[in-house]
Amino acid sequence: MGLTNIARQAAMTVVRALGDVPTAVTYVQIAPGVYNPATGLTADVPTSHPITVPLLRLLESEMSWFPAPDKVQRAVVPFLTLSITTTRNDYFLISGVRWEIKRVRRVPTGAVTIFYIESP
């Protein structure tokens, strides 16, 4: 097992160890659909990924990144929970509310992605 796989397994272990902190959310991945020559448009195709992740408040050092830090939180997603290519067009659904992805940070090993998400 390579170092990357060990880091990914460790990230999953840490998230599981948090106990009841993780929250059930839906990650909605947006992909471009088929081009319609009649309308000249391409419709987006959403794909839902139900996942359970910890949602954490911003650190004090991160609060200056956002104009309204009280409406922003971090979703810590282990690679093994969501092993897809993510984009800024994607979003999270939490209790039926759409949370926009404002910033994405990936841990160098690729074991964890931290999404900074903002409520409307």
pLDDT tens digit sequence for 54-101: 888 777 777 777 666 678 888 989 888 888 888 879 999 999 999 999
pLDDT digits (tens, 9 = 90+) for 21-40: 678 999 999 998 888 899 98
Count of domains for the chain: 1
CB 114 within 8 A of CB 75: yes
The three-class DSSP label of residue 43 is strand
CB 111 within 8 A of CB 11: yes
- pTM of the entire structure? 0.73
Q: What is the extent of the structural domain holding 90?
A: 3-118
* Nearest in space to 31 (alpha carbons), one of 50, 44, 49: 44
Judged against a pLDDT cut of 50, whether residue 19 lies above it is answered with no
The domain spanning residue 44 has which CATH number?
2.40.10.270
Q: What is the pLDDT of residue 79?
A: 86
